[in-house]
Copies of this chain bind each other. A is one copy, B any other.
Amino acid sequence: MGALEGDRPLGEGRRPPGGKPVSITAVAERAGVGLGSVSRVLSGKGSVSPEMLRRVREAAESLGYQPNLLARSLRSRATNTIGFVISDITNPLLAAIVGGAEAVLSEAGYSVLLTNSGGRPEIDAQRIGLLLRRQVDGLIVLPASEGDPGTIAALAGAGVPVVAIDRELPGVPEASVVLSDHYTGILAATHHLFEAGHRRVALVAGPDMRPARERLRAYSDAHTRAEVPPFGFTFGPLSAARGAEAVGQLLGAAEPPTAIILGGNQLLEGAIEAAQGRGVAVGRDLALVCCDDIPLGRLHRPPIPTVMRDTDGMGRAAARAFLARIAGETPPPEVMATWFDPRADQDRVGAGSG
């Protein structure tokens, strides 16, 4: 790509005082050479003589030429642009994923078109349509629901490189996926609770999609293996309100659980609030386990044990998968690790109650 970079005041070549923006034609005229040659020099494709290189570069420089990427993309059928479809940028988890992906993508010369669906699948589809009309080279999606795999399938089937994060797309081999191994982390967390003496462990699993189902599978397997009857689980949205509601209900039961596993960090806020509201001391009267690291959990006294994963790494992996697809490869599904961090202090081992 670019021969020229920020060697001149930004925004210069756009609309020079004269009026017309400086185009490749202007450079060609100034250098006294043909259009093709200028293009070859500036885009770096094709071979040119050293003399030509010098003259064109000089002319471009002196005119403050900046290529119009729109025109380039129109002709070359590649925009070096990727659509990122996400349900809620406000969620630190998703933000971290976006951040990781953006780093890799911009390094590779891609720009990210970010779209926030707000969790409504119909908006998802609408925005994806807009991105396609904008001729993005591909998409990284973190759909709000699995309800409409048809959309993704249609895309992938139409040859648009698609990478889905933490979603299963059965029957859509054309799409790549980056998955989290939620199973391992929750399995370890559940065993840890058993070891601490808990026998009534509830799971608030999150919305009925792959991550929640994997967590549930680990939760069930752990109970089976330890021969402990499962206390129960719920599916539901990932939000503070839902966390408060679920924990409130659980604590209000005749025989409440002594431990609750929360399937998403958004639940933690509400969960702590609900417990505090009932005078239940989190970490003493009630053990909580959270998924995905947030300061709230780490700084709680006692700290709240957490199933961790590398969110930045997930974003990077998704970006790499996308770049691989662009390069014509078909990267296999990538499964990213999760691990359980009990976060026990030296002087305080195991959770209370029983």
Contact = CB atoms under 8 A, between A and B. Distances in A.
Given A68-B74, A69-B135, A295-B296, 17 more contacts: A10-B132, A11-B155, A14-B159, A66-B129, A69-B134, A70-B134, A81-B134, A90-B96, A102-B115, A103-B116, A106-B127, A112-B113, A112-B115, A114-B114, A268-B295, A269-B295, A276-B299
A97 B92 CA distance: 13
A150 B9 CA distance: 9
Contacts of A38: none
A12 B296 CA distance: 45
The size bracket of the interface on A is 35 or more
Q: Which 4 A-B pairs have the closest CB atoms?
A: A11-B158, A114-B114, A269-B295, A9-B154
A89 interface: yes
A102 B74 contact: no
A225 interface: no
Nearest to A265: B295
Interface string A117-152: 010000001111111111100000000000000110
Nearest to A100: B90
Given A12-B158, A92-B95, A299-B272, A130 B111 contact: yes
